[in-house]
């Protein structure tokens, strides 16, 4: 395994909004950060069509373009981005060791920004038909369902945003919601997104229903839904099922290393984890999971980088003394 030369001031695990923002702040502090990312820098936003609430853009902006701009800015300021998956974090006293599939590095501070992946639905037919009509990425697969009926599972911001995006292609988009229409918990999306979805003529809400099965042989042909008020089973024809029911943090490699709760990294308000010199930010952090917003992750990345800078300076001053 290749060992990256010298001890780094800051190693950042993940290149989503949190990681790239942390890199920008750390680079501006002349800490020469190294960022490890197993996929394309930008994280889950590479699978999103547009961001409509990023400050200063004046309106919708391409998520991929925004993440590409953050990456360019980080690199121009002196960030090194390494394409590799982090497999282990080994805490130490003066430094921490980051082990990846390609190399390892010693760093005085580590900022962990692992993000979260889409949660898969566990009903009959879902695994078997994944990639054959069952999708977890509307921007990746929506194009293949032109003029065809589809169903969206989920009622949060992400689900309704995907439903709106899919109306560009599909003949009809049915959104399955587990709660009755008059239940204030039914739809957890922002008021603007709810209104746009309600006003879109292609979107139909199927209230108070749960998914019993996704049906199809070679590909999806429909769903079996249970009406939760009567117990009645109904068949809903569909050529595609887009699932948006939450995310799971990508923190398996941190089990037994950092304090976790339900898989999410526990920190204080300064993004400090249970290990001194290790910080966390973004969707994999316990306090951020209620929001899952790019701007929140970016803000946390900035805080983590500022705290890492303070930690490095304190350590270097202590050594000098």
Which sequence positions are flagged as catalytic?
Answer: 137, 140-141
- If you write DSSP's letter for every residue of 255-292 in order, what string do you get? TTTS-EETTEEP--TT-B-SSTTEEE-STTBGGGTTT-
Q: How far apart are CA 291 and CA 278, in angstroms?
A: 22
Closest CA to 4 of 77, 82, 113, 75: 82
∠ at Cα 249 (15, 118), nearest 5°?
Answer: 90
Q: How far apart are CA 133 and CA 150, in angstroms?
A: 9
Cβ 67 vs Cβ 60: under 8 Å: no
Q: Which tokens is 94 given?
A: 């003066």
Closest CA to 314 of 277, 278, 268, 280: 277
């Amino acid at each position: 395994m290749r060992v990256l030369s010298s001890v780094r001031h800051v190693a950042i695990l993940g290149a989503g909004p949190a990681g790239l923002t942390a890199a920008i702040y750390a680079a501006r502090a002349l800490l020469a950060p190294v960022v490890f990312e197993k996929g394309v820098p930008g994280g889950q936003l590479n699978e999103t069509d547009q961001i409509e609430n990023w400050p200063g853009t004046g309106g919708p902006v391409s998520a991929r373009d925004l993440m590409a701009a953050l990456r360019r800015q980080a690199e121009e300021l002196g960030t090194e981005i390494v394409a590799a998956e982090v497999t282990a974090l080994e805490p130490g006293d003066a430094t921490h060791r980051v082990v990846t599939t390609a190399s390892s590095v010693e760093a005085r501070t580590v900022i962990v920004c692992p993000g979260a992946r889409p949660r898969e639905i566990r009903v009959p037919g879902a695994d078997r038909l994944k990639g054959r009509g069952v999708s977890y990425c509307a921007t990746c697969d929506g194009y293949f369902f032109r003029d065809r009926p589809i169903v969206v599972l989920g009622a949060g911001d992400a689900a309704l945003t995907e439903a709106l995006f899919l109306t560009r292609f599909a003949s009809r988009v049915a959104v399955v919601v587990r709660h009755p229409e008059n239940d204030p918990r039914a739809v957890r999306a922002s008021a603007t997104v709810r209104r746009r979805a309600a006003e879109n003529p292609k979107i139909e809400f199927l209230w108070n229903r749960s998914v019993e099965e996704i049906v199809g042989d070679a590909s999806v042909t429909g769903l079996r839904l249970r009406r939760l008020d009567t117990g009645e089973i109904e068949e809903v024809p569909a050529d595609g099922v887009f699932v948006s029911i939450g995310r799971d943090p990508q923190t398996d490699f941190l089990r037994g290393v950092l304090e976790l709760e339900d898989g999410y990294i526990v920190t204080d308000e300064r993004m400090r984890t249970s290990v001194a010199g290790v910080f966390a930010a973004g969707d994999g952090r316990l306090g951020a999971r209620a929001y899952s917003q790019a701007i929140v992750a970016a803000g946390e990345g900035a805080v983590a980088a500022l705290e890492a800078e303070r930690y490095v300076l304190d350590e270097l001053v202590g050594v000098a003394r």
